[in-house]
Amino acid sequence: MTALEYRHVQVARDGDTVRITMNRPDRRNALSGEHLAELLASFRAAGETDATGIVLGAHGPVFSAGHDFADVAARDLLGVRDLLTLCTELMSTIQSVPQVVIARVHGLATAAGCQLVASCDLAVAAESAGFALPGGKGGWFCHTPAVPVARAVGRKRLMELALTGDPIDARTAAEWGLINRAVPDAELDTAVDELLARATRGSRANKALGKRTLYSQLDRPEADAYALALEVMAAAAQLPGAREGMAAFLEKRPPVWPD
């Protein structure tokens, strides 16, 4: 798949940097199966280049609203499992490519959108950005998004995010360790480029090896965590509460919880 074939992603080379930009603003950059596949393909392709850095950004008012409920609601158990497997593969690829990957976050990053941010090596957010794992106040808990978020913010803060479902602002996200820093909106691009420039100094091969080794150390329990969370989240998509929550969202009405 070449950049010209992407429907939901824009890819551009800028010197030593590959910029991957989600371009589904009409759907709040929701992560459908097709969108996830394009992101995975673009990261794999970028990983094979001689670029030293990758910037993940988004067009539109929202960074990413997470999984596309229209896609999820149309799938059976096996279909949701396939979707979550694809999403998990994307998150793993972001961490396995040799380049430094930095998230450029504006607007809301919720559920799997928050998972994307947590999975990147680095993240800088505009002060207007927000972050949430909203499944805790809905019908479909954020099982898989919680895996990398937990490793960024720690147990108690994860529990607050996951159980309340309430968003935190960018300054709080920086204090909690979900992102590296929050900056005024007008300074977002400058801050992203400055951090990326510092993070990509030195030997490219050395950096790639260092990144791989760091994740190997830090994430040995994560594979097991993902295996469990993926199965639970796929199964949970079939529960009445999840179905009702998705239906209410798609029909633009208040949910009537069955449980």
pLDDT at 2: 44
Q: How far apart are CA 122 and CA 120, in angstroms?
A: 5
Predicted TM-score (pTM) of this structure: 0.90
- In eight-state DSSP terms, residue 258 is -
Look at residue 58 and tell me whether its pLDDT is greater than 50.
yes
The pair of structure tokens assigned to 141 is 């808990």
**HSE-up of 91 (CA within 13 Å, CB side)?**
26
Look at residue 94 and tell me whether its pLDDT is greater than 70.
yes
Instruction: Tell the residue number behind the tokens 């309340």, with chain if given.
Output: 164
**In the predicted model, what is the mean pLDDT of residues 33-42?**
97
pLDDT over 70 percentage in the chain = 97
Look at residue 38 and tell me whether its pLDDT is greater than 70.
yes
pLDDT at 3: 47
pLDDT at 99: 97
pLDDT at 1: 39
Look at residue 36 and tell me whether its pLDDT is greater than 70.
yes
Q: Average pLDDT of the chain?
A: 93
The pair of structure tokens assigned to 132 is 């949430």
pLDDT at 220: 60
pLDDT at 219: 59
Spell 88-116 as b/e; 16+ CB within 10 A means b.
bbbbbbbbebbbbbbbbbbbbbbbbbbbb
Helix residue spans in 8-154 (DSSP H): 33-47, 69-73, 77-96, 112-119, 146-153
Digit-coded pLDDT (tens) for 184-207: 999 999 999 999 999 998 888 878
Q: Say if residues 112 and 85 touch (Cβ distance below 8 Å).
A: no
237 against 2, higher pLDDT: 237
- In eight-state DSSP terms, residue 237 is T
pLDDT at 204: 83
Handedness of CA 54, 168, 222, 72 (dihedral sign): negative
